[in-house]
Structure 1
Amino acid sequence: MQLNSIKPAAGAKHAKRRVGRGIGSGLGKTAGRGHKGQKSRAGGYHKVGFEGGQMPLQRRLPKRGFKSQSLKFNAEVRLGDLQRLESAEIDLLTLKQAGLVGELVRNAKVIAAGELSRKVVLKGVSATAGAKKAIEAAGGSVAE
């Protein structure tokens, strides 16, 4: 085989459709655009969702729902989750490594849910008033 003798497989290539080249082509006269109207003319254009002046669907439907993007970056951690961790000093990196918060999380807050019976020291992680009380009662501290 030579480079100059390589050809595409039979039927892989076909001629481009030539519109507006006479009645015999099957696409003569109107060139497949039909008769009259905006879309039959050169430069005929309407924006996406345009319904000919009728109120478009996206404006007829009511607006509802919203999902805050801040949910991605803020996380809650329960006291019961802290009980299961091995380390005594807990910061955001420790929580990420344990899989308690997502990788994108920037702020974590401990909430008073579950039991805590061992001493833990929170660093760079905030806590609710109830959680702070429970941590201090177990001999730990919260340093934000």
Structure 2
Amino acid sequence: MKLNEIHDNEGATKARMRVGRGIGSGKGKTGGRGVKGQKARTGVSIKGFEGGQMPLHRRLPKRGFNNLYSTDLNEVNVGRVQEAIDAGKLDKAATVTVAALVEAGIINRARDGVKLLGVGELTTKLTFEVTRASKSAIEAVEKAGGSVTTVFAAGAAHRATVASA
């Protein structure tokens, strides 16, 4: 086989229809657009328009709401922290804070704080300073001889002051 002998299978490609090229082409005159009116022109988008009737998306009620006090937390498993310690990315003598987790590459960026979850196994004695922690995570840390302290989320504090103002 040579490069100049390579080609598609028979019927694999189809020539595009050239519209507006005479009545004999099958797509001449109006070029498949019907006749007259706004939609026969180019560059028209009237999505959701129902001829003056109130459109469906405006007839239906809005649903849900955005909670001002919600927190967007990073979730970190104790097993992932142990992996970072084993790899030498986290210092086992220092307190594990949000900043330390970002620096170690466990989380990309700190959102409103960190929630510690109990998936995995922790064998190192560590002191955690996180926004929230699950019961299983606290048990796993205390079983390894460490402690968990919860601190108030910075982002949530900001939103609370904005909402009260």
TM-score (norm 1): 0.53
The alignment's C-alpha RMSD in Å is 3.6
Q: How far, CA to CA, are the matches of 1:133 and 1:104 in structure 2?
A: 24
Task: Measure how far apart 1:130 and its partner are.
Answer: 1.1
Deviations 1:19-74 (A, max 9, x none): xxxxxxxxxxxxxxx9xxxxxxxxxxxxx955332231423678778898957x31
Q: Does 1:134 align with 2:134?
A: no
Unaligned stretches of 5+ residues in structure 2: 1-35, 37-46, 85-89, 151-165
Q: Which has the larger radius of gyration?
A: 1
Count of paired positions: 99
Q: Percent identity between the aligned chains? A: 40
Task: Measure how far apart 1:99 and its partner are.
Answer: 2.6
SS of 2:79 mapped into structure 1: helix
Task: Measure how far apart 1:129 and its partner are.
Answer: 1.1
Unaligned stretches of 5+ residues in structure 1: 1-33, 35-47
SS of 2:125 mapped into structure 1: coil
Check whether the contact 1:91–1:125 (CA below 8 A) recurs between aligned residues: no
Structure 2 residue aligned with 1:87: 91
Deviations 1:78-106 (A, max 9, x none): 01111022322200001112232232412
SS of 1:119 mapped into structure 2: coil
Q: How far, CA to CA, are the matches of 1:109 and 1:82 in structure 2?
A: 12
Structure 1 runs, 4 residues or longer, greater than 6 Å off: 60-69
